[in-house]
Amino acid sequence: MEILFALTLGALTTSGVYLLLRARTFSVILGLTLLSHAINLYLFGMGRLKTESPAVIGLVPDYADPLPQALVLTAIVIGFAMTSFVVVLALKAAVELRNDHVDGENPNEDRP
C-alpha cells in the first residue's frame, strides 16, 4: 500500500507542477487542483497508513491519529473555496483581457 500511495502522490505532484507551469489559465487551475489533491493525500499519510483502526479511542487498541484527518478537512475546504475563486477570476480576466494567457497577453498571437 505504501508504494501505491507514494506513486500516486508523486504522479499527482508531478502533473500538478507541470500543468502549473503552462501558459493558459485553464491548465494552471487544473494544476492547482491536482497539487491540492496531492497535499490532501500527503497530510493524510502523515498520520501513518493503517487499516482497520478508526480514529476513536476505545474501539480498537491501536487507534488512528485524528489530527491529520482534521487538517485534511480544513485543507479541502480552503482548497475548494480557492479553486472556485480562481475559476471566476480567470473567467473575468479572460473576458476583460480577451484571452486566457496567464500574462494577459499572448506574445505569439497578439503582437504582429
Partner 1 sequence: MNHLMAMPVLVPLVAGACLLITFKAPLMTQRLISLGSCSLLALLGIWAVLQAGQHPHTLYYLGNWAPPYGIVLVLDRLSAIMLLLTACLSLIAGLYACRGTDREGAHFHALFQLQLAGINGAFLTGDLFNLFVFFEILLIASYALLLHGGGRARSRAGLHYVIINLVGSALFLFAVGTLYGLTGTLNMADLAVKIALIPAEDQPLLTSAALLLLVVFGVKAALLPLLFWLPRAYSAASAPVAALFAIMTKVGIYAMLRVFHLVFSQGEQPINLTLWEWLWPLSLATLLLGAVGVLGSASLRTMTAYLVIVSVGILLAAISLPGQEMLSSALYYLLHSTCLTATFFLLADLIGKQRYRGYDRFSLVSPLNHRWLLGCLFFIAAISISGLPPFSGFISKLWLIQSAIKAPSGGLLWGLMLLTGLLTLIALSRAGSRWFWRPTTSVSSPLRLDKTSFVLICLMLTTSLVLSLLAEPIIHYLERTAEQILSPDEYIHAVLQSAWLSEAEVVP
CA separation for the pair 20, 15 (Å, rounded): 8
Min CB(3)–partner 1 separation in Å: 18
Q: Is 87 in the site for partner 1 (CB under 8 A)?
A: no
**The three grid cell numbers given for residue 76, joined into one nine-digit string:** 479541502
Three-state DSSP at 60 gives: strand
Q: Is 63 in the site for partner 1 (CB under 8 A)?
A: no
Q: Report residue 59: phi and psi, to 5°.
A: -75, -50
Min CB(80)–partner 1 separation in Å: 12
Largest Cα–Cα distance of the chain, in whole Å? 71
Interface residues with partner 1 (CB under 8 A) are 20, 25, 28, 32, 35-36, 39, 42-43, 45-46, 65, 67-68, 71, 74-75, 78, 81-82, 85-86, 89-90, 92-93, 96-97, 102-104
